[in-house]
Structure 1
Amino acid sequence: MKKKQKIITLMIAISLLTGCPSKNSVNHNNDYYVKDTNAFNILISQYANNIEQIWGPKEVVIAGPKDYVQYEDNLKTRVHINFVSGVITFETLSDTPLDNLKEAIVSTLLMSEPVDIIRHDKISQDLSQEPFLYNQVLDQERQPIRWNGRASSFADYVLSNNLMQRESGSHQITYVEIKLVPNHINQRARKFLPLITKASNRYFIDERLILAIIEAESAFNPYAVSRTDALGLMQVQQHTAGRDIFKLRGKSGEPSRKFLLDPRNNVDMGTAYLSLLKTKYLAGINNPISLRYAMIVSYNGGAGNVLRIFSNDRNEAINIINSMTPQQVYQRLVTSHVSQESRNYLIKVSKILDNK
């Protein structure tokens, strides 16, 4: 099988223009934000149209907060990792499906950790580093995959035993699926735990809360992107949270997308924003549990929307929150917040916290 460098076409295109929904903070420089987001949506629409022309109208798959998607071979072969279901799907329209699928399987199993990809805009296997999917996929002998020989052997095994075909319009798609290990989310979380612990200690934010936020936002997918302009593990927005943290640090402008796609920067910035919510936007809430509920919802939908549930006057809103029990605050947030997404977000993150 010939070796070639895998250019992460879709991920890089999106990383140059966007991220995923933390929706964190108030609106800043709204005209720029709208223009930038519109440009991204145009790019995605053009890319989706190219995919549709090749794969058909019902076969457009693009990356998202919890989905890694990569196209190769002039868009005729693709890899889709669903970080929630824990399934990797390899599909091709190629006339030589076995060759194309094997190459996709091997290179995906050996793909580098995110920092290498961000630095070089390509997969360049560093022999001193474990592959990103190490311990998340086990081969036919129930062994983790680190080297080319084991990856190639496993690819042959999968193609010999699990090869499938399906029809989609006029296309015949050849594909295989590989399941991640049952605890794949925890395996990914372990990779980033040192970064999370460091940020927790730096900003005095509960490590469990950071972990729960990341699981809810991206399922520990460091490549996470979305059309709502947020990026990385903690789905940090450039124009809102990113701008706020830069301003707090005496910097002008906002972080670049490449900067935010580095997990080290992303966890640091996302946790810094949680600290900003805690010490500035929501300062004055006395009960730590009530404060945590307010921080969670504010991370998703902004602190202003949280406080307005209780009063249009900030000080009065804080006083009302302090007069309530944490359970009363929780119930008000999950029943009265203007955004259904934010209401569901609090429920989801709270359930994750309960299980940690």
Structure 2
Amino acid sequence: MELLANFVFQKAASVAQTDLVITPVSGKADMKAFIDLPWRLYAGDPNWVPPLKAEVKELLTPGKNPFFGHATAQYFLARRGGQVVGRISAHIDHLATQQPPEQGMGPGTGNFGMFEAEDDATAQALIAAAEDWLRGQGVTRVLGPISLSIWEEPGLLISGHDHPPTVMMGHNSPRYQAMIEGAGYTPVKQLKTYELDITKNFPPLIERIVQSGEKNPRIRVRQVDKKQFDKEAAIILGILNDAWGNNWGFVPITDEEVAHTGKKLKPIVFEDLIMIAELDGEPVAFMMTLPDLNEALKPLNGSLFPFRWIKLLSWLRKPQCRTMRVPLMGVVQRLQSSRMASQLAFMMIEYIRRNAVARYGSNRGELGWVLDDNQGMNAIADAINGTVNKIYQIYEKPL
């Protein structure tokens, strides 16, 4: 009986494997199927936040996403018995291939992303298809999952599946870790997010550091001026490219990407949640905080129609949200590892914390992602009593 059971199981597995068809995405119907798949796979996951389908389509479309000004991509679908059971992207960021190899990217590096799979057989077939395409493009090393740019949703969630992601952060099935590692991928870098109770004052030492900075005539911490959006964005970009330039995985942001991202984020950019720190009149640090748009998006189920846009517009006018996320923060390299860098960071965090609680009704903050080897940012998060709530893993594999 046991032999018969094993035979039946192996035969069923074989049939499932041979019935699996992997095809490149071609045409509107395939693109729709590619975008729609997560709604079926995550139907029973209370912590998945449905993105706006129009936003996903824009992300994936050359001509609408400026990422494709320096990138090439191919999408694949997996079908079994006519039903879509998986998807994956294979892509090359040509700016990333120009970066120093010791910083994580470099020549010959390609990526996979947008990964979803119903089962392991599907996962292995999709990853193999992505690798074959990348190999044909001259790629010798794969980093993934990265969907699609390192600035968007990098990494696989391996810890923290028990609560929803914040705005612009990813969520995936915990089963995917075994699938990706089973395809021969090994961990190369972890990205962490920290959460903290922002209704509580920071430790006395941090409060003294902030107070000391307020007495220093060389320091000025100001909120951005949304009326001069382009000018402020240019200041922040200049600090960002300098501050992050030596970080693992860094890829420069183009002017087109800045304009595109600025347009997308403008509705959730609030002047009192973004700070620029000046030293002797020169901008040297910034901190960007966003209200957690996911709290408003989750009930919309991926669409603004027929009248859901009214609810979102109402929320955007005066957000009242539980969580604030800090997606970006930077201090120019010449000040990094100095006491001044930490002081400026603590001052910006404290000012934004006060505003978030008093004006937006927030009680929780999330900082990140932060590279696992970024000692300065990890130390700052620890100093304000942050605790790691999510870990994202980036993998690599030679081809």
Name the TM-score class by shorter chain: under 0.3
Normalized per residue, the structure richer in strand is 2
Q: TM-score normalized by structure 2?
A: 0.23
TM normalised by structure 1 equals 0.25
Higher share in helix: 1
